[in-house]
Amino acid sequence: MTDRLDLLPRHRNRIEEILAKCAPGVEVWAYGSRVNGRSHPGSDLDLVLRGPGLERLPLETLGALSEAFHDSTIPFFVEARDWARLPETFHAEIQRDYVVLVGA
């Protein structure tokens, strides 16, 4: 369910296009202010990428995503983090409130 995700359809579509191109086959969760109802139009979008088997994603993938988001027309910062590179304590924080943006 993504009803709680505070994104305009055109921005969501562009984000999904970038994810499909740069990180195909990766499950992506949104979390943070755009999920918990505390966002404003300039709020960043926090994403966590969950690779196959929850293994670490190649740094090249993360770099390509960062560059693609930076070069896009999306008018806010999009930060994509690798689940496997985050501490367990942060996993628990994300798991409290997230929306699946792209399924596995």
Catalytic residues: 44, 46
Task: Count CA within 13 A, CB hemisphere, residue 63.
Answer: 3
Is residue 80 exposed (0-12), middle (13-18) or buried (19+ Cβ within 10 Å)? buried
Cα angle 6, 62, 50 (rounded to 5 degrees) comes to 65
CA separation (Å) from 6 to 18, 34, 41? 18, 5, 9
